[in-house]
Amino acid sequence: MVRFGLTVVRHGETRYNKEKILQGQGVDEPLSATGFRQADAAGSFLSNVKFTHVFSSDLLRAKQTAAAILGKNRFCKDMEIKYDARLRERKYGVAEGRPLADLKAMAKDAGEQCPSFTPSGGETLDEVRGRARDFFEFLCQLAVELEQKEHGKPGAPGRSSGTSGEQFVFPWTNHYSEAETSSEGSGSSTVLDANILVVSHGAYMRNWIGYFVSDLNCTLPENLTKSQLSSVSPNTGVSHFIIKLENENLLKPKITCVCLNQDSHLVDVGAECVASKVF
């Protein structure tokens, strides 16, 4: 069985986030001063997590966030960040660079509701989900190939011995089942074949998680409400998943959501870091 961890982080705040202006793909704003503080706080929160791979959207706000997170990491400061256009924010077409209120007005005029409304030149939700599905299948294939490569090494132990893979420590507790973790210090740990960090965007992440839940039957935390599930992540919100591939079957991954849009690291950043719903 292949098992890997997936940590997904939304980029830090930009000036347009604060001003409630849509960015999508056509507006490539840098992080604001607050956004950099948020990214540093997320990096400190994840500083003891040893990642094997880091992927980011190729838009500037995500690239800067990923770099800040790695800059705080004890193990991954020099790791290469791989930029992937499949992780870009949803494209909002003619609404990009305009206030969110304009998008809502366009939707109302069309007799539709946000976020299902697609402005002229924008991506449909199905198109965004297709990008997310394609990228996730790529990650699953990557994890399988890593496990096969490790298993093929001379003298490599099998997972049945309990020694294959690597143990990774995470900054959240009381999330894993006892069968999957052992307590070590102040974090939780589990044996994984890979541990992947992804930095992306609010609307994209909401669609990706929707795909996990509706198409792949992702197991959710018991205390998660429907409102929390449908909400856009706050800037630098952290979500973590464990993915299992029985018999290396890429078509039927078993996904467990450990935490969703976790933002406890923002408590000391300042009141101005309240979650933004603008993409």
Residue ranges of the binding site for substrate: 10-17, 61, 89-92
Cross-strand bridge partners of residue 187: 184
Q: Hey, what long-range contacts does 134-139 have (CB within 8 A, 24 or more apart)?
A: 134/86, 135/84, 135/86, 135/87, 136/208, 136/211, 137/250, 138/86, 139/4, 139/6, 139/196, 139/243
- How many whole angstroms separate alpha carbon 88 and alpha carbon 122? 13
Catalytic residue from among 11, 53, 175, 240: 11
- CA dist 140 and 6 (Å) reads 10
Annotated binding site: 10-17, 61, 89-92
Output the DSSP codes for 119-148: -TTB--HHHHHHHHHHHHHHHHHHHHHHHH
Q: Is 11 a catalytic residue?
A: yes
User: For this structure, is 246 an active site residue?
Assistant: no
Catalytic-role residue among 29, 89, 123, 147: 89
User: What is the spatial distance between Cα 112 and Cα 52, in angstroms, rounded to a whole number?
Assistant: 43
Annotated active-site positions, please? 11, 89
